[in-house]
């Protein structure tokens, strides 16, 4: 697809990086020549220096003949203006990055009025990710499918627990629940396993199961813990603004530490139910005085990766059960060894959303990607597809269908009924299915998973 991205900052760069790796024709526009030069040096795409809100630059970027424009500068109003111009020029689809909470709350009005295909809000997406993890602290990662009816959760197999030494064909009998292991990460190796695969202590295990069974599964494998009731946030970022609202709505006791007095006062005025302190949240004595070690969860979002990472290692040493560390550079993740420390990258979450959206646009048959999540550090993709009348495997028992290597059908959603499939199950038109595959294989259409049977 031909895609134009306006804005080459952290989010724009991350989106361009992922979409170029999937083979799309990308043109990126930014007003800073140093930014465009860096992009041309590091990514396989074209970069133009200029204002993306001018018709002249849009024509130079060939916006009128593009399939999609993504406006992700730091200014919401500029992004929306770019989308209006792009649609007027004939661009097929336009997406605006909208970060301001006031705008986010009225996007249902703005989308129609501005002819936006959709919007993206990296900070809101990151806050939702943190909130979901705090709801079920026993998992390392949690991804939803089938409108929230299905979850794929990441857990660690520990020595002597019910997962350690279990063959996957025996797992359901052992935990007394319908579930399927879609992927296993063992050291540097990643597997999409079959029933003969045996789990070991230390494995990162990705379990697909109905959302209603999730708590039962975590109890069965010894990973269940009650959701966070007392949460400390360090840093009054925009992510924190969204997260505080979600936590208070859920009845969670929230304490926020912000060193900037004007920011702290704004938080205190907007969220009177929260305890807001104007202090240096990176100071050891402040954290001790505020009993950071007694919290159920701590979220670190100071705005600086290095500060967040160092702070997370210190707070982790206090025995806090769950940590959320906001980072822009996910490569720093190798510094974190604590499995209960979740690295949350707004730009990466946003890039993943854009990849899902673009894959859906590529397919006009109706069996396009509904949901896309990356597992095992990006080595595995979990994709949800619509099953249409043109699906090659429709109506056939799964045991009679030959799939391409390293592909697994993990779940079938039939009108809200969740099926963890066996060999006798079938895919029918109107279903959605969750497919797990190595991320090196780009799948756009459900028919891409079937092996040739000639």
Between CA 304 and CA 119 the distance in angstroms is: 26
With a CB cutoff of 8 Å and minimum separation 6, the contacts of 113 are none
Between CA 229 and CA 119 the distance in angstroms is: 32
- Residue 335 pLDDT class (50, 70, 90 cuts): low
What's the count of helices (H) and strands (E) in the chain, helices before strands?
14, 22
- Give the pLDDT mean for 266-276: 96
CA-CA-CA-CA torsion sign (434, 436, 440, 446)? negative
pLDDT at residue 365 is higher than 60: no
Q: Give the percent of the chain with pLDDT over 90.
A: 60
Burial class for 404, CB neighbours closer than 10 Å (0-12, 13-18, 19+): middle
- Residue 254 pLDDT class (50, 70, 90 cuts): very high
- Residue 377 pLDDT class (50, 70, 90 cuts): confident
User: Per mean pLDDT, which range of 201-205, 334-338, 417-421 is the poorest?
Assistant: 334-338
Per residue in 285-315, pLDDT (tens digit) is 999 999 999 999 999 999 888 899 889 989 9
What region does 426 belong to: left with phi over 0, alpha with psi -120 to 50, or beta?
beta
- Residue 353 pLDDT class (50, 70, 90 cuts): confident
- Give the pLDDT mean for 154-178: 91
- Residue 348 pLDDT class (50, 70, 90 cuts): confident
With a CB cutoff of 8 Å and minimum separation 6, the contacts of 93 are 67, 68, 69, 117, 361
- Residue 360 pLDDT class (50, 70, 90 cuts): confident
Per residue in 71-104, pLDDT (tens digit) is 999 998 999 899 989 999 999 899 999 887 777 6
In this prediction the pTM is: 0.81
Q: Residue with structure tokens 């509904």? A: 370
Give the domains, in start order, of the chain with CATH numbers: 2-120 (3.40.50.720), 143-220 (3.30.70.1450), 231-320 (3.40.50.720), 349-449 (3.30.70.1450)
Per residue in 222-251, pLDDT (tens digit) is 877 778 899 999 999 999 999 999 999 999
Q: Residue with structure tokens 């990126």? A: 28
pLDDT at residue 110, as a whole number: 65
Coil, helix or strand for 344?
A: strand
With a CB cutoff of 8 Å and minimum separation 6, the contacts of 279 are 257, 258, 259, 286, 290
Between CA 419 and CA 98 the distance in angstroms is: 37
Q: What is the mean pLDDT of the chain?
A: 89
Between CA 191 and CA 83 the distance in angstroms is: 42
Q: DSSP string spanning 107-121?
A: HHHHHHHHT-SEEE-
- Residue 105 pLDDT class (50, 70, 90 cuts): low
Per residue in 108-117, pLDDT (tens digit) is 666 666 667 7
Comparing CA positions, the residue from 79, 207, 107, 209 lying closest to residue 149 is 209
Helices (H), 76-213: 76-89, 101-104, 107-114, 122-135, 171-175
């Amino acid at each position: 697809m031909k895609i134009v991205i306006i804005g080459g900052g952290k989010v724009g760069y991350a989106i361009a990086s992922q979409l170029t790796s999937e083979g799309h024709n990308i043109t990126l526009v930014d007003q800073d020549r140093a930014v465009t030069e860096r992009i041309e040096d590091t990514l396989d795409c074209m970069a133009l220096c200029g204002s993306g809100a001018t018709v002249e630059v849009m024509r130079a970027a060939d916006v009128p003949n593009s399939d999609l424009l993504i406006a992700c500068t730091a200014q919401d109003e500029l992004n929306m203006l770019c989308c209006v111009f792009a649609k007027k020029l004939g661009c097929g689809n336009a997406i605006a990055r909208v970060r301001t909470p006031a705008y986010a709350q009225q996007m249902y009005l703005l989308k129609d009025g501005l002819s936006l295909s959709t919007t993206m809000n990296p900070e809101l997406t990151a806050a939702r990710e943190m909130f979901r993890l705090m709801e079920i602290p026993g998992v390392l990662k949690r991804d939803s499918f089938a409108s929230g009816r299905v979850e794929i959760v990441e857990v660690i197999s520990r020595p002597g627990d019910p997962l350690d030494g279990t063959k996957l064909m025996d797992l359901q009998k052992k935990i007394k629940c319908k579930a399927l292991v879609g992927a296993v990460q063992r050291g540097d190796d990643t597997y999409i396993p079959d029933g003969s695969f045996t789990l070991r202590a230390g494995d990162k295990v990705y379990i697909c199961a109905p959302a209603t069974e999730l708590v039962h599964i975590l109890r069965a494998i010894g990973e269940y813990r009650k959701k966070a009731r007392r949460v400390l946030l360090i840093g009054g970022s925009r992510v924190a603004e969204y997260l505080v609202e979600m936590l208070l709505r859920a009845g969670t006791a929230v304490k926020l530490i912000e060193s900037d007095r004007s920011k702290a006062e704004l938080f205190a005025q907007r969220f009177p139910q929260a305890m807001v302190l104007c202090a240096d949240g990176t100071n050891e004595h402040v954290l001790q005085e505020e009993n950071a070690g007694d919290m159920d969860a701590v979220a670190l979002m100071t705005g600086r990766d290095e500060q967040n990472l160092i702070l997370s290692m210190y707070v982790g040493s206090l025995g806090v059960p769950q940590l959320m560390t906001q980072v822009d550079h996910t490569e720093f993740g190798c510094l974190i060894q604590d499995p209960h420390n979740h690295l949350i990258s707004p730009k990466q979450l946003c890039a993943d959303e854009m990849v899902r959206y673009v894959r859906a646009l590529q397919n006009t048959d109706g069996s396009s990607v509904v949901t896309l999540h990356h597992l095992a550090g990006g080595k595995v993709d979990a994709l949800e597809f619509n099953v249409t009348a043109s699906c090659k495997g429709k109506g056939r028992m799964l045991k009679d269908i030959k799939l391409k290597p390293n592909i697994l059908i993990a779940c079938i959603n039939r009108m809200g009924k969740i099926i963890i499939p066996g060999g006798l199950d079938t895919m029918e038109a109107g279903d959605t299915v969750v497919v797990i595959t190595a991320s090196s294989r780009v799948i756009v259409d459900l028919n891409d998973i079937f092996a040739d049977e000639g």
